[in-house]
Structure 1
Amino acid sequence: MKSNESNVYFITISENESDQRIDNFLHKHLKGVPKSMVYRIMREGEVRVNKKRIQPKYKLQYGDEVRIPPLRQSKELLPIPINLTSITALNKAILYEDNFLLVLNKPSGIAVHGGSGLNFGIIECLRVLHRHTKFLELVHRLDRDTSGVLLLAKKRSVLCSLHEQLCNNRIKKDYLALVRGHWKDHVKTVNAPLLKQTLSYGKRIVQVNRNGKPSETHFKVSERFTLATLLKVNPITGRTHQIRVHSKHVGHPVAFDNRYGDKIFDQQLTGCGLNRLFLHATALQFRHPNSGKMIYIEAPLDASLHRCLQYLRQHFQ
């Protein structure tokens, strides 16, 4: 990185930083700068690559020189509190790690990345805790309240390889979900297009809509209770809130879903002591980008989900 007397910065793109969109690069590099400002400085030509204006979708190449103007970053974002037990415990949640990959059993209640009023997320914390790792990026995402297997790449080439596997449906993702009522055995696949929408008061939701993106989820009954069903779920596409919205679409919202759920159903489960979404990414299967071997990684349920199932087996079977 170099700068001139006007505090304009020039960054030369390394091999690890190449093949990503310029807007995504800027969001990560300009911590605390609102996204609206990032897009404004691109639109006004203040950000340049190799002295030329660029579009947000431009993909950076190895050796590109990026011009970044001086910006005032928000002081509201606090340093990541790496001394907190809940953050340092992320190291204990690592399921697998080598020179190319890191796989985490993500806790419920922590976002995978900062933004939308959050000072930090999983990726920001891991970058601090693994500060000697030059490159660390999310391969995919999990909802804030969803727990389970989360895959991260330690090299740009690994990230690209895994994204290609995702695009070609060669990464299998398995979930467990507790849903309302008696799931019918013949309902094995839900094909319903999903569309992101913003409500009048600003809340963002996903709805089944014919103008949405094609979305497919496979369901299989794992265990039955008198008022609920435990499902094994395999999403074929990876849309936002896909499992939660598809479950609701066929009349079986996920337990303790504060966005798409059923409060009466949740009240019936009060005795189980659960206060979080019952959706857990149980396993991930993919081909290792370096060795070529098939990797299968499982994430155990946390104590709260275990207690909930034990309660249901004792009182509702």
Structure 2
Amino acid sequence: MNESQHSPSPQVQWVTITDDHAGQRIDNFLITFLKGVPKSLIYRLLRKGEVRVNKKRIKPEYKLADGDQLRIAPIRVAEPKPDALPSANLDKVKSLEKHIVYEDKVMLVLNKPSGIAVHGGSGLNFGVIEALRALRPEERNLELVHRIDRATSGLLMIAKKRSALKHLQDQLRQKTMRKQYLCLVKGRWPAKRRAIQAPLLKRELNTGERAVSVSPEGKPSETRFRIIESFSGATLMEASPVTGRTHQIRVHTQYAGHPIACDERYGDDYFDGQMQKQGLDRLFLHAFRLTFTHPVEETTMQLEAPLEPKLQTLLGKLRNNRD
């Protein structure tokens, strides 16, 4: 490999895939492996054949196998800023420590506050995953198992090992992991409506944000619902997504004519105004229960995160105002 004597030019990288990364898509592997390299550049490298597996061109969806030999062409990107990872001393980062509801050697589960994104991007300096990497510098393989919207609070799983990530994501794909949410919706939800099956189409806006709508061209999507408590003009619901589409619960409730309280994108202005008068200043959607198989112990685990006090207070006011 020739290299200029004067400038530290980027070099070809050779990587041998081990069993820990077997089964992972090449694009997802590179996004993690080439930290700081923009996704657009990673896909361009794949498209141009500048990343090869066993000397062959591959597509982004190629799944890695144990023993695969990767050749990654020299990549020149801007030097990462020294503050690319948030400081572990920042109050917002440190506060995440007290939101960890479960942790062991292979995973941790966080009760994510509303208003914090799960990862940086779209003008955000950092999200939950960057904050946890700053708090746990010794954990080199922290990865999100799944995502929840920035405005949504509740249980979020993070894997510490690639094997645990694969195990947990397999449960999501096979629909053996159960995620249950609490949401406050507009109006009186009909008791007979226990599920919504409506295909969802995702599109990206000019701002880089995602917007989702019900469309025959969308992907099959299903959410199951159960009434928890009825109020005057609102219903507290339990929502269990069978599929895991972007903004699924929010769009399905809107489609049913019962949007979630204080949903800036899919909500109802009049209903939101009524809830704001009662003190609500965030989306009333909370991932309160996770049921899954532990990736190592193979035991069934059920974790819960109660509603934060301000949501409990709102429900108390609604009970007092009930007809």
Structure 1 length as normaliser, TM-score?
Answer: 0.91
Map of 1:29 onto structure 2? 33
1:260 aligns with 2:272: no
Q: Give 1:295 deviation, angstroms.
A: 0.2
**Which residue in the other structure is 2:242 paired with?**
236
Which residue among 46, 69, 74 is the counterpart of 2:74? 69
Paired residue for 1:193? 199
Match of 1:313 among 293, 296, 319: 319
Q: How does 1:142-221 map to 2 (within 5 A)?
A: 142-198=148-204, 204-221=210-227
**Maintained 8 Å contact 2:280/2:311:** yes
Q: What is the CA distance between 1:35 and its match in structure 2? A: 2.1
Structure 2 gap segments, 5+ residues each: none
The reply on whether 1:48 has 2:68 as its aligned counterpart is: no
Q: CA deviation at 1:179?
A: 0.4
Amino acid at match of 1:8: Q
Q: 1:31–1:73: 8 Å Cα contact kept in structure 2?
A: no
| CA shift digits 1:90-130 (9 cap, x unpaired) | 11111111112211111111111222222221112112211
Q: 2:10 aligns with which of 3, 7, 10?
A: 7
Partner of 1:223: 229
Q: Deviation of residue 61 (structure 1)?
A: 3.4
Task: Tell me the amino acid that sits aligned with residue 164 of structure 2.
Answer: V
What's the CA shift for 1:243?
Answer: 0.4
Q: Which residue of structure 2 lines up, in the alignment, with residue 90 of structure 1?
A: 96
CA distance in 2, matches of 1:169, 1:293: 17
Change in Cα spacing, 1:264 to 1:81, as seen in structure 2 (3 Å) is: farther
- The 8 Å contact of residues 175 and 281 in structure 1, kept in 2 or not, is answered as yes
- Contact 2:182-2:285 within 8 A present in 1 as well: yes
Q: SS where residue 281 of structure 1 aligns?
A: strand
CA offset digits 1:38-77 (Å, max 9, x no partner): 2112212222334432221122334433424222237678
Output the CA distance in 1 between the equivalents of 2:158 and 2:209: 29
Decide which moves more: 195-204 or 225-234.
Answer: 195-204
2:84 and 2:137 map into 1 onto residues whose CA distance is: 18
TM-score, length-normalised on structure 2?
0.90
Q: CA RMSD in A?
A: 2.3
Deviation of the 1:301 alpha carbon: 1.3
Q: CA deviation at 1:14?
A: 4.6
Superposed counterparts of 1:99-138, under 5 Å? 99-138=105-144
Change (3 A) 1:195 1:181: same
1: distance between equivalents of 2:213 and 2:274? 26
SS of corresponding position for 1:117:
coil
Q: Secondary structure at the match of 1:269?
A: helix
Structure 1 residue 154: Cα displacement: 1.9
How many residue pairs are counted as aligned between the two chains? 316
Query: SS of 1:222's equivalent?
Result: strand
Which structure 1 segments of 5+ residues have no match? none
1:311 aligns to what SS in structure 2?
helix
**Would the aligned equivalents of 1:16 and 1:135 in 2 still touch at CA under 8 Å?**
no
Alignment match, 1:300: 306
Range with greater deviation from structure 2 (108-117 or 288-297): 108-117
Report the secondary structure of 1:246's partner residue.
helix
Letter in 1 for 2:151: D
Residue 186 of structure 1, CA deviation: 0.7
